[in-house]
Structure 1
Amino acid sequence: MSSLTLPCKQWDDKQWIRSEAISAERVLSPSIRLELSNAPAEFSESMLVLNDEVVVERIRKREIKAGALKLHGISFATAQMRLLRQYIVVAFQTETLLVYRSKGSSVWLAQGKKPQRVAYERVPLKEKNREVNRVQQLAVRSLYALGLDYGVVKVGTLPGRKFVVVDVIPNPRLNTDMENVLVHAIYRYAKQLGETAVKPESVTLGADPEFIMKHANGQLALASQYFPRFGRVGCDEIWHGQNRANKPLVEIRPQPTPEPRKLVVRIYQGLIMAAKRVKAGNVVWLAGGMPCSGYPLGGHIHFSGILLNFKLLRALDNYLALPLVLAEDPNGVKRRPKYGYLGDFRHQFHGGFEYRTLPSWLISPTVTKGVIAAAQLIASRYPYLELEPLKRLSVQRAYYQGIKTDIQPLVETLWEDLRGLNEYQGYAEFLDPFYEYLLSGQTWDEQKDIRKVWKVPPYQPSPRKTAQ
């Protein structure tokens, strides 16, 4: 079944969408292009395309599919592999719509032979099961890694709580329930398209950037010795050694705000608060990607007031995560792809989401200001951004391997596109110095104490007043 163009005239009719997008054999179209009256004419082409034809054609070859997933740190099933269970996940962008789980004994994969008949049962999406949650996350991550927007993902479980992707199918054969949820997802995306671009001030930003502390002798200074688990300055959940109470990573958690400048001020206030608790003079504060081996740091950004979809995540990857590679310490490459993989996100209790791909940008005020300003600008105006260099596997490889020479010319073009937004000038005070830094050829030094560039002095208690 070839790709499909759907005109706007009947988008309120789900039955019409079903008849157009699904064949008589109940096979979903592998690619859909929308023609919508509610989408501004200036919207980028990618906003109107679900499952780009080029991507769909590329992953028809199993070895290319496997190689693309491997780039993102995702394991692909091999022949003769014995699975404990197999799941079938129907997903549309960031959401899983249906989950089925194999029943009975283990499943064998045997490529080239008659497939084994397996019975499945439907799994409630809200089932409180760690395995089911991980399967859903892997299915969504696999769609994103391959450049798709929808499809069926088959996931297998292995001994040792390991997971592998068995297949990703952009044009699956559907049962009635699959048809219903996918038609509704396509319908909802089309109806919401006009709501995807918002005013920048409508996007509320939060963050929880991390840093780690070391003594002069190179030993870790545990964050849990100075900070509580929760609060404006607290400990990340990761632990050091066998004792889970030993938390090495510090998080700054400023109160969210729609004003980038105010968020930067609150981050600085958090650093001052941290300095008042860490009175040891021989401790250094380190940020970046991985200043201490085995402890990757993140610069997570929280968004609310905007719809989450793959198009937004891809814009953040292309216009923010990719440029940031130019400035990172070469050691930061070791963080990827287990951490810092493209499109890493997490739904949040407040209804927004957390973008988790970036390293800790606390490395300097210039980088912090630039990242926060770019995040809000991109998130609010991404439907008007045209470029997707990360669609190419070669650029994905350059990102994961930190190949700056391949990335620099792309960043120059990306920034010109960003500058073309009418709203750019409102952020130029933060973005222009950030861009100059990215293209300067400098790389940040993850072994330098960030307090120096932030002008955060070691805390000294105020001298007591002498009684008169």
Structure 2
Amino acid sequence: MSSLTLPCKLWDDKQWIRSEAISAERVLSPSIRLEHSNELIGFSESMLILNDEAVVERIRKREIKAGVLKLHGISFATAHMRLLRKYIVVVFQTETPLMYRSKGSSVWLAQDNKPQRVAYERVPLGEKNREVNRVQKLAVRSLYALGLDYGIVKVGTLPGRKFVVVDVIPNPRLNTEMENVLIHAIYQYTQQLGETAVKPESITLGADPEFIMQHANGQLALASQYFPRFGRVGCDEIWHGQNRANKPLVEIRPQPTPEPRKLVVRIYQGLITAAKKVKTANVVWLAGGLPRAGYPLGGHIHFSGILLNFKLLRALDNYLALPLVLAEDPNGAKRRPKYGYLGDFRHQFHGGFEYRTLPSWLISPTVTKGVIAAAQLIASRYPYLQLEPLKRLSVQRAYYYGNKTDIQPLVETLWEDLRGLSEYAGYAEFLDPFYKYLLSGKTWDEQRDIRQVWKVPPYQHTPKTSR
């Protein structure tokens, strides 16, 4: 079935969308292009395409599909791999509205030349357990990694609580339930397009950047010795060693606000509060991506007041995560792809979401201010941003491997596009120094006590270094 063009005058007709998007054989169109409307003048082409045709064509070969997923840290099923169970997951961008699970507990072969017929049962939407949650997350992550917006993802479970992607299908054959949820999702996307661009001040930002502490002799200083599990300054949930009470990572959790400047001030206040708990200069505070082996750090940003979709995540990846590679310590690339993979997000209880791809930008005030300002600007005006270099596999590789040489010219072009937004001027105080930092050729030093650059005593005075 070929790709489909949907005229804007018919977006309100769900039944017409169904008749056009699904063939007589009940196969979903592999790609959908939406016509511009007066309401969407200036929107990027990518906002009006669901499942880009070039991307669909690229992943037709199974070996290409497997290679892309591997780059993103996702395991793909090999021939004759033995599975305990198999899930069929309907995915539309960040949502999994329908899932099926194989019945019984017998082991079967994923890629057998003569596969046995398997019966499936629908997974109730309210069923939430660790396996179902992991399958849903893997399905969404796989679709995103391949550059798609919708499709069916088949996931297998292996012994040892491991999971593997069996296949990702952009033009699946559908049953009635699948038809209903996918047509509704396409319809809903068309209806919400006009709501995707918002005023920057309507987006509330939060964050929970991390840092780790170590003694002057190099030994780890446990965060749980100084901080509670919860609170404005607290411990991350991961533990050190066998005792789950030993928490190594500190999180700064400022109160959310629509004003980037206030968020930076609250982060600084959180660092001051932390310093009052750790009253020694003999413990250094380290941020960045991987300042200590085995302890990758994140700089998660929380958003509310905006609709979440793949287009927004891709804008954050292209205009924020990709440029930040220029400044990171080369060692930070080792954090990826297990952590820091493109499009990493988590739904939040308050209705917003958490963008989890970035390393800990607490490395300096300049980086912190730039990241927060860019995050709000990008999130609010992303439909008007025209560039998507990460669509190319070569750029994805450059990101995961930390290839700064290939990324720098892309950042210059991306920043020109950001500067083209009329709202940029309101953020220039934070964004211009950040951009200068990115293009300086220097990389941050993950072994330097961040209290020095934040001027939060006490800290040891050490010579400034750059790389």
Query: Which TM-score applies when normalising by structure 1?
Result: 0.97
Q: Which residue of 2 aligns with 1:464?
A: none
User: Does 2:391 correspond to 1:391?
Assistant: yes
Structure 1 equivalent of residue 456 of structure 2: 456
State the Cα distance separating 1:38 from its structure 2 match.
Answer: 6.1
Q: What's the CA shift string for 1:177-234, capped at 9, x where partnerless?
A: 0000000000000000000000000010000000000000100110000000000000
Aligned to 1:359: 359
Q: Deviation of residue 109 (structure 1)? A: 2.0
What's the CA shift for 1:14? 1.0
Q: Deviations over 1:384-428 (max 9, x none)?
A: 000000001110000000000010010000000000000000000
What is the aligned partner in structure 1 of residue 245 from structure 2?
245
- Mapping for residues 128-139 of structure 1, pairs under 5 Å: 128-139=128-139
Q: Please, which moves more after superposition, 31-40 or 376-385?
A: 31-40
Alignment of 1:285-304 (within 5 A): 285-304=285-304
Among all aligned residue pairs of Structure 1 and Structure 2, give the percentage whose two residues are the same amino acid.
90
What does residue 311 of structure 1 align with?
311
- Alignment of 1:339 with 2:359, yes or no, is no
Give how far 1:279 is off: 1.1
Q: Is the 8 A contact 1:4 1:21 kept in 2?
A: yes
Output the CA distance in 1 between the equivalents of 2:132 and 2:228.
Answer: 32
Structure-2 residue corresponding to 1:108: 109
Describe the SS at the equivalent of 1:192.
Answer: helix
Q: Which residue of 2 aligns with 1:194?
A: 194
* 1:7 aligned residue: 7
CA distance in 2, matches of 1:38, 1:347: 32
Q: What is the alpha-carbon distance in structure 2 between the residues aligned to residue 421 and residue 230 of structure 1?
A: 38
Q: Please tell me the residue identity of whatever aligns with 2:449.
A: D
Residue identity matched to 2:54: V
For residues 393 and 57 of structure 2, the distance between their equivalents in structure 1, rounded to whole angstroms, comes to 14
What is the correspondence of 1:130-149 to structure 2 with a 5 Å cutoff? 130-149=130-149
Alignment of 1:279-290 (within 5 A): 279-290=279-290
Match of 1:373 in 2: 373
What is aligned with 1:32? 32
Deviations 1:115-137 (A, max 9, x none): 33111000012202210110000
Find the aligned partners of 1:379 and 1:427 in 2 and give their Cα distance.
13
- Distance in 1 (alpha carbons) for counterparts of 2:281 and 2:364: 21
Asked if the contact 1:38/1:193 (under 8 Å) is kept, the reply is: no
Superposition RMSD in Å: 0.9
Q: Note if contact 1:7-1:34 (Cα within 8 Å) is conserved in structure 2.
A: yes
Query: Which residue of structure 2 lines up, in the alignment, with residue 41 of structure 1?
Result: 41
Could you say which residue in structure 2 is the equivalent of 1:63?
A: 63
Letter in 2 for 1:239: W
1:422 aligns with 2:398: no
Distance 1:107 1:205 in 2: 47
Helix, strand or coil: the match of 2:325?
helix
The 8 Å contact of residues 38 and 194 in structure 1, kept in 2 or not, is answered as no
1:60-99 → structure 2 map (5 Å cutoff): 60-99=60-99
Q: Provide the C-alpha distance between the structure 1 equivalents of 2:36 and 2:108, rounded to a whole number of angstroms.
A: 44
Moved more, 117-126 or 160-169: 117-126
Stretches of structure 1 lacking an aligned partner (at least 5 in a row): 460-468
Q: Secondary structure at the match of 1:383?
A: helix
CA offset at residue 41 of structure 1? 1.4
Task: State the Cα distance separating 1:106 from its structure 2 match.
Answer: 1.9
Cα separation, 2, equivalents of 1:115 and 1:244:
43
Write the deviation string for residues 337-378 of structure 1: whole angstroms up to 9, x where unpaired.
Answer: 000000000000010000000000000000000000000000
* Counterpart Cα distance in 2 of 1:36 and 1:123: 37
Q: CA deviation at 1:167?
A: 0.1
Task: Using the TM superposition, give the Cα deviation of residue 97 of structure 1 relative to its aligned residue in structure 2, in angstroms.
Answer: 1.2
SS in structure 1 opposite 2:131?
helix
Contact 1:36 1:190 survives alignment (8 Å) = no
Does the alignment pair 1:270 with 2:251? no
- 2:463 aligns to what? none
Is this contact kept in 1: 2:398–2:407, CA < 8 A? yes
**8 Å CA contact 2:109, 2:115 repeated in 1:** no
Contact 2:80 2:109 in 1 (8 A): yes
Q: Is the 8 A contact 1:86 1:107 kept in 2?
A: no
Secondary structure of 1:327 counterpart: coil
1:238-260 alpha-carbon deviations (Å, 9 max, x no partner): 10000000000000000000000
Within the alignment, does 1:259 sit opposite 2:259 as a pair?
A: yes
Question: Aligned residue for 1:160?
Answer: 160
Report the Cα offset of residue 458 of structure 1: 1.4
Q: Which residue of 2 aligns with 1:51?
A: 51
Does the 8 Å CA contact 1:299/1:360 hold for their aligned counterparts? yes
Q: Distance in 2 between matches of 1:242 and 1:280?
A: 27
Instruction: Flag structure 2 segments of 5+ consecutive residues without an equivalent.
Output: 460-467
Count of matched residue positions in the alignment of Structure 1 and Structure 2:
458
